[in-house]
């Protein structure tokens, strides 16, 4: 039973729920998350049907019980004009209006769209990189129009992300696009390709940032990680004639050797999966850690353009971010390089706006 209503933001609401006494955690009070557009608006006293698997697994990002239904008060049936089904064949599948389907007001603008004309697209494997990328970009070029494209490697409902909600409130994002099985963005798209075209043609973005939703999936192996898909996003940007910018995943504080310095996931996604040359911004970091990063990233130089980025002012920009910075449970004070790498990618995107597209050969460096 719902005992209290907690925080809410567009598309999501927190609830305190008392479990039934006959359950394995009989009578326990848990925090639950509801998506009102899918299950209706919960009220105090409502009986709710919960999925508690995230609680049982002790997940950090997704540690809510999730509301499956309000069995005593079902939401009204809603039949909109859309024909795209997201989270397909799940009980809570969502039917949405695709940005480029015939019933969309944007169909004509996108029907023959086939290229990005050099638009910078920053690609990162973790959702936590998004605010840091924006901090670096907007610090150097405050008037930039930025769109966020969410892939389906993490949370499928965009509403799960309090980060996106906070960035929207702060005016740091002009709009959002959800692609693949992800849903809930300002615009809905089938693939990364038409999601990027929508970001440019409909949201009028100068720059797009692409990450998976919160709560990545990994198995501790080279290939068993949802963020490996960054390589496929780089390919999509290249095919469409955009300018892919591959944000590195760095850490100075991770206790796992495979993530110290440049994460093996960056080396795999960009070095093995990406077949198109991208700009790889490398933040200038002092000391032995900086030497380690420069040595590790050379593995990518045969295919990509390594770009050295001055980090002056970026720590202050990150500290002024309107939403909390946290990656794998660590904040800016605990693991600054993780956020500096993403901010450096944003700074590099800013340098590309308003100038021609430099075309050094694979493995070259650009200043």
User: In this predicted model, what pLDDT tens digit does every residue of 289-313 receive, in sequence order?
Assistant: 999 999 999 999 989 999 999 999 9
Residue 95: strand pairing partners: 85
Residue 33: strand pairing partners: 14, 66
The pTM (predicted TM-score) of the whole model is 0.91
Q: Is 134 helix (H, G, I), strand (E, B) or coil?
A: helix
Could you read off the pLDDT of 27-80 as tens digits, one per residue? 889 999 999 999 999 999 999 999 988 888 877 666 799 999 999 988 877 667
Q: What is the mean pLDDT of residues 326-342?
A: 92
Listed in order, the ranges of the chain carrying CATH 3.40.50 are: 107-366
Which helix H or strand E contains 129, and what residues bound it? Answer: helix 129-140
Q: What is the mean pLDDT of residues 134-158?
A: 96
- Predicted pLDDT of residue 227: 81
Q: What is the mean pLDDT of residues 264-287?
A: 95
Q: Supply φ then ψ for residue 2, to 5 degrees.
A: -75, 125
Reply yes or no on whether the pLDDT at 104 is more than 80: yes
Rounded CA separation 198/203 (Å): 7
DSSP annotation of 362 reads: T
The residue ranges of DSSP E strands in 259-337, in sequence order, are: 261-262, 279-283, 305-309
Q: What is the mean pLDDT of residues 258-266?
A: 82
- Predicted pLDDT of residue 329: 84
Fold exhibited by the domain 107-366: Rossmann fold (3.40.50)
Q: What is the mean pLDDT of residues 171-199?
A: 98
- Predicted pLDDT of residue 225: 81
Rounded CA separation 189/187 (Å): 7
């Amino acid at each position: 039973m719902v005992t209290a209503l907690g925080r809410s933001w567009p598309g999501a609401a927190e609830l305190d729920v008392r479990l039934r006494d006959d359950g394995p955690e009989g009578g326990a009070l848990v925090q639950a998350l509801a998506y009102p557009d899918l299950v209706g608006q919960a009220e105090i006293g409502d009986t709710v049907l919960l999925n508690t698997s995230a609680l049982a697994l002790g997940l950090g990002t997704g540690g809510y019980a999730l509301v499956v239904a309000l069995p005593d008060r079902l939401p009204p049936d809603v039949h909109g004009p859309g024909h795209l089904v997201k989270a397909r064949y799940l009980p809570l599948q969502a039917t949405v209006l695709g940005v480029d389907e015939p019933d969309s007001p944007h169909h004509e603008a996108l029907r023959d769209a086939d290229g990005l004309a050099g638009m910078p697209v920053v690609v990162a494997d973790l959702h936590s990189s998004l605010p840091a990328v924006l901090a670096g970009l907007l610090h150097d070029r405050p008037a930039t129009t930025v769109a966020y494209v969410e892939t389906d490697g993490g949370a499928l409902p965009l509403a799960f992300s309090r980060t996106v909600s906070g960035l929207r409130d702060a005016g740091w994002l002009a709009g959002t696009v959800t692609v693949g099985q992800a849903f809930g963005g300002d615009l809905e798209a089938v693939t990364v390709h038409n999601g990027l075209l929508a970001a440019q043609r409909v949201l009028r973005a100068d720059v797009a940032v692409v990450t998976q939703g919160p709560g990545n999936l990994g198995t501790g192996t080279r290939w068993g990680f949802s963020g490996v898909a960054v390589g496929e996003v780089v390919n999509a940007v290249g095919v469409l004639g955009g300018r892919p910018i591959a944000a590195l995943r760095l850490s100075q504080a991770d206790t796992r050797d495979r993530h110290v310095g440049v994460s093996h996931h960056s080396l795999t996604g960009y070095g093995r999966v990406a077949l198109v040359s991208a700009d790889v911004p490398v933040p200038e970091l002092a000391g032995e850690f900086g030497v380690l990063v420069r040595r590790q990233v050379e593995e990518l130089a045969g295919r990509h353009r390594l770009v050295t980025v001055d980090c002056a002012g970026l720590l202050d920009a990150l500290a002024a971010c309107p939403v909390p910075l946290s990656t794998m449970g660590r904040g800016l004070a605990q693991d600054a390089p993780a956020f500096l790498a993403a901010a450096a990618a944003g700074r590099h995107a800013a340098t590309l706006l308003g100038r021609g597209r430099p075309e050094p050969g694979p493995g070259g460096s650009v200043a």
